Amino acid sequence: MAFDAALLRGVVWELGSHLTDGKVEKVLQPGKDEIHLLVRAGGDSHRVCIRAGSHMPRISLTYEPKENPPTPPMFCMLLRKHLGGARLLRVTQVGYERIVRMSFSGYDEMGFACEKHLVAEIIGKYSNLILLDAQDKILGVLRAVDFSTSRVRQLLPGMKYELPPAQDKRPPLEETEEGFLSLLAKADPAVPCDKHLTDTYLGTARQVARQLAFEASGQTDTPVGEVDPHRLWDAFSDRMRDLAAHIYQPTAVVDARGGVLDYSYGAITYFGESGTVKCFDTLSRMLDYCFVTQEKRERISARARDLTALVERAEARLTRKLQLQLEELADAREAKRYQRLGDLLTANLWRVKRGDTLLVTEDFYEEGTPTVEIPLDSRLSGAANAQRYYKLYAKAKRAEEHLTAEIEKCRAELAYLDTVKVFLEHAEGEQDLQEVREELYRSGYASRMKGYTSPKQLKLKPMEFTSPSGYRVLVGRNNMQNDTLTFRLASKGDLWFHVKGMPGSHVVLVCDGAEPPAEDYTFAAQLAAKYSRASGEGIAVDYTRVRYVKKPPGSRPGFVTYSTNYTAFVTAED
């Protein structure tokens, strides 16, 4: 994903369309590198988000208010002083760079009218936000850049603002067919088309270049020497013509778990069936969806880091234990051999003398009675040696039975931890994580959760959806909820769904014995596939009535057995 100059061109056009002549009502700074401007224009209030940090920089309208710190940071106070109550004159893109200049008309400390400019540089890890006066003198900067940080370009209050060094690339909107084909002919034939486009033209993200190569050749990595130059020019010129006319197709591609794979101001088709395409009305709506989704996933991932580490350590410990148990079981399965040696020795006691260390005799258990060597303890008689082998047999037999039971317990524990990992991946908020913590606490992991206190009551309910025909569909958020949903909330006649052979949520189609239409079955099965470890197409989902679902005594949370079931094959839809 990349916030390139072409996408910025569309965002600037959107901001200008909505905000020109608007009045700045508030300036907020919800994050270290994030500024929100609340602008009143056309009778509506709009929120402009400017993220100028090294991580996920962007500028666009946003529809997701954020909590602000109790004390505004210094840069926020500076913007309030200079921009509070000012009117937005224009929003412009500097050349074809990832730089936006927002010009405001306001008043200085003496009450005289003046212009101020807010410059947002959305240039990856060097992103920044600079406040300028009418003569482009820097009044304030979000992240100061001095000589110790960069010898090429400094950004400090009092200095004259200068643009970043220009790139030696061509502006794509001014390209002609003749120039395009000429540069393509001079390029190295082995270089992929997408790399040629990004190296040659300003503001062209790698993902956009891959899409153009795909439209021209059907592949994203086609070399320059193998592509049809005119088809590549057609794809390139069509895209530039839409950009010039401000015709956009805001598009995002998400994976089966809702994670954003890519976004663009134009169509994205090169992912094929590996991603689901989502279309939006505006570029700001698209960016808001993509960035909020990514932020949410990262925030939940950060808060769940301690739980993830706990589960991974437990998995590693159990995996090592299981490997040792399997090795011991392989040794214990020698029990039959000890019994056979004892029987052969008993049948040949007359041939054993005290002091013998080895008996060579025929093995009547094997076809053809081949000879076998039986080691003996020279201090024991033949009968005592036979009894020693019988004792080894009894000991190995007991060990095999014990190890088999322990291995099953170990595998069941690993399967349980796998379900916990799935619910951590699908957690949507702190409440989800709190319930998983409580589940691990009750499952015997309290000693590994330092300082944890079990809450008096957990209020989070199962997820609820509505089927195409209007039936309620309930989805468990974790293993404890799965048990509660299946054995307390659901009635015996409701339909129960679960992905086959994988960890995931219990899904209940609330129908109380009725027979819902086929599309409702599909809807519930798709939810079971979505909230599970499965992905892709052709996912097997078992379903049956709740009356046929049982919970074995003493089993882990979420573990059930069921019978009289059917299987549906679905895709994990969003």
Structure confidence by residue, pLDDT tens digits, 485-523: 999 999 999 999 999 989 999 999 999 889 999 999 999
pLDDT exceeds cutoff 90 at 273: no
| Residue span of the structural domain in which 13 resides | 5-141
559 in the same domain as 476: yes
Segment 250-254 mean pLDDT: 90
**Which pLDDT score is estimated for 117?**
95
Strand partners, 34: 31, 51
Q: 64: domain CATH number?
A: 2.30.310.10
492 within some domain: yes
Distance in angstroms (rounded) separating the CA atoms of residues 96 and 569:
49
Dist. CA 351–CA 348, nearest whole Å: 6
User: Does the residue 248 lie in any domain?
Assistant: yes
How confident is the model over 36-52, as a mean pLDDT? Answer: 93
User: How many Cβ atoms sit within 10 Å of the Cβ of residue 23?
Assistant: 16
Question: Do residues 478 and 439 touch, judged by C-beta distance below 8 A?
Answer: yes
Percent of the chain with pLDDT over 90: 46
Q: Are residues 129 and 75 in the same domain?
A: yes
Residues 395 and 470 in one domain: no
Q: Are 204 and 172 in contact (CB under 8 A)?
A: yes
Residue 145 in contact with residue 155, Cβ under 8 Å? yes
State the Cα torsion 49-50-56-60 to the nearest 10°: 50
Residue 537: predicted pLDDT: 82
Do 177 and 279 lie in a common domain? yes
Query: What confidence score (pLDDT) does residue 452 get?
Result: 65
Q: Which amino acid is located at 62 in the chain? A: T
Question: What is the CB neighbour count within 10 angstroms for residue 479?
Answer: 26
Q: At what angle do helices 229-244 and 5-19 cross, to 10 degrees?
A: 20
Residues 292 and 183 in one domain: yes
What mean pLDDT comes out for the span 536-549? 92
- 280-311 pLDDT, tens digit per residue, is 999 999 999 888 888 877 777 777 777 888 88
Using the 3D structure, point to which of 252, 278, 301 is the last residue of a domain: 301
Of the three residues 402, 420, 438, the one that is the final residue of a domain is 420
Mean pLDDT of the chain: 88
Counting the structural domains of the chain, the total is: 4
561-562 and 58-61: which strand pairing? unpaired
**252 & 225 share domain:** yes
* Radius of gyration of the chain measured on its C-alpha atoms: 35
- Averaged pLDDT, 418-443: 80
Whether the per-residue pLDDT at 528 is higher than 90: the answer is yes
Same domain, 471 and 543: yes
- Please report whether residue 163 resides in a domain: no
Please tell me the predicted confidence (pLDDT) of residue 574.
54
418/453 Cα distance (integer angstroms)? 24
Q: How many other C-beta atoms can be found within 10 angstroms of the C-beta atom of residue 566?
A: 9
| Residue that finishes a domain, picked among 396, 420, 444 | 420
- Token code pair at residue 13: 């056009």
- List, in sequence order, every residue forming a beta bridge with 409; answer none if it has no partner: none
- pLDDT at position 343: 83
Give pLDDT, residue 26.
93
User: Does one domain contain both 134 and 26?
Assistant: yes
Dihedral sign for Cα atoms in the order 148, 150, 152, 153: negative
388: in domain: yes
124 and 13 within one domain: yes
Residue 40 has pLDDT above 90, yes or no: yes
Residue labelled with tokens 């210094």:
74
In a domain, residue 559? The reply is yes
Average pLDDT over residues 139-152: 87
- pLDDT tens-digit map of 366-415: 888 888 888 888 888 888 888 888 888 888 788 878 888 888 889 888 88
Amino acid (one-letter) located at 569: F
Residue 545 near residue 490, CB atoms below 8 Å: no
Please check whether residues 483 and 550 belong to one and the same domain: yes
Residues 293 and 353 in one domain: no
**What is the predicted pLDDT for the residue at 301?**
74
- What confidence tens digit (pLDDT) does each residue in 436-462 have? 888 887 777 765 666 666 665 656 789
> In the predicted model, is pLDDT for residue 471 greater than 90?
yes
Task: Please tell me whether residues 297 and 318 are part of one structural domain.
Answer: no
For 231, 290, 407, 438, the CA distances from 295, given in Å and listed in that order, are 38, 9, 41, 25
Asked whether residue 217 is assigned to any structural domain, the reply reads yes
- What is the reported pLDDT for 412? 86
Q: CB–CB of 478/432 below 8 Å?
A: yes
Q: For residue 271, what pLDDT is reported?
A: 85
pLDDT of res. 140: 94
Q: Are 41 and 19 in contact (CB under 8 A)?
A: yes
pLDDT in tens, 197-249: 999 998 888 889 999 999 999 888 899 999 999 999 999 999 999 999 999 99
> Of 328-342, 448-462, 466-480, which gets the smallest average pLDDT?
448-462
